[in-house]
Amino acid sequence: MTALRRKRKPLQWVNLIAPLAVLAAIFLVCEIIARTSGISEYILPAPSKIVTGVWNKFPADISPHFLLTLRVTLLGFLLATALGMVLAALISQSGLVTKAVSPVIIWLVITPLITLIPLLTLWLGYDPMQRVYVVVIQATPIITLNTLNGFTNLDTEKKELAKAVGCTKLQRFCKITFMNAMPQVFTGIKLGCINATIAALSADIVSGNIGMGFKIKQYIKYNNIDLAYGSIILVALIGLVTYYIVESIEHKVVLWKN
């Protein structure tokens, strides 16, 4: 076990340094192109200008909008995760229900449910809570689908063995079905956090006068393209950090996958 941990440490450093090196290279290339190619800054502002602009504007101008979008994304994502797992657990208890409901879930996954934002705005007004509903609606189906696939793709021999040793239905679900499904559950959760970020930004753009989507619209309207790019990067960071937090939890929980 100790030897295995020693082998993992260099690999973890590589996994951390490699993406940072790629980002640094992209930053440098874009900086050189922006400063030497003559391309208008309305198309490609220099990355250094983006960083400087966001750094100066964040405390007073950007932070209230960023914090709202962050809260909406995280709250909607957590609710969608809980709802998706509960729905999958209930649906998986019946083979007939699973066959009947699965096509509907797939339809919901492939449908851009953020198109419901204007309707939700009409029904609920411009309350920020309405944006949480949008995130939940968009993120829940993909979490439900992946979790349901994990719950239903259990080896029949394991089920029969659990019955033979006298496990109750609840014990079989908690100790065998759920544990067996963990890799797919986490896959669904990671996809859910991506959908949650996209939905939160879309809700900001379509409705309301606060949030990062609104701020991006405003910056583009007044030709502050560097700040628009910076705001987009900040929103991407919300999804990226959430994704890697979930992935780190997965590595600690799903040990057999590693």
Residue 145 is predicted with a pLDDT of 94
**Looking at residue 241, what is its pLDDT?**
93
pLDDT computed for residue 165 by the predictor: 66
Contacts of 243 (CB under 8 A, 6+ apart): 190, 193, 194
Nearest to 246 by CA among 187, 197, 201, 184: 187
Query: What is the pLDDT, as a whole number, of residue 163?
Result: 66
Q: Are 147 and 85 in contact (CB under 8 A)?
A: yes
CATH architecture of 47-257: Orthogonal Bundle (1.10)
Task: Classify burial at 257, counting beta carbons within 10 Å of its beta carbon; exposed 0-12, middle 13-18, buried 19 or more.
Answer: exposed
Question: For residue 136, which amino acid is it?
Answer: V
209 DSSP 8-state letter: S
Domain-by-domain residue ranges, the chain?
A: 1-39, 47-257
Q: What is the pLDDT along the chain (258 residues), one digit of tens a residue?
A: 455 455 555 666 676 687 778 888 988 988 888 888 878 778 888 888 888 989 998 888 899 999 999 999 999 999 999 999 999 999 988 889 889 999 999 998 888 877 777 777 777 767 777 889 889 999 999 999 999 998 888 766 666 666 666 666 677 777 777 788 888 999 999 999 999 999 999 888 887 688 899 999 999 988 889 999 999 999 999 999 999 999 989 988 877 655
Return the pLDDT at 144. Answer: 95
Strands (E), the chain: none
Question: Cα-atom radius of gyration of the chain, to the nearest Å?
Answer: 22
What token pair was written down for 149?
């696939």
Distance between CA 63 and CA 230 in Å, rounded? 12
Q: What are the C-alpha distances in Å from 192 to residues 123, 141, 189, 242, 254?
A: 25, 8, 5, 10, 18
CB count in 10 Å sphere of residue 163: 12
CB atoms within 10 A of CB 95: 9
Indicate the DSSP class of residue 60.
I
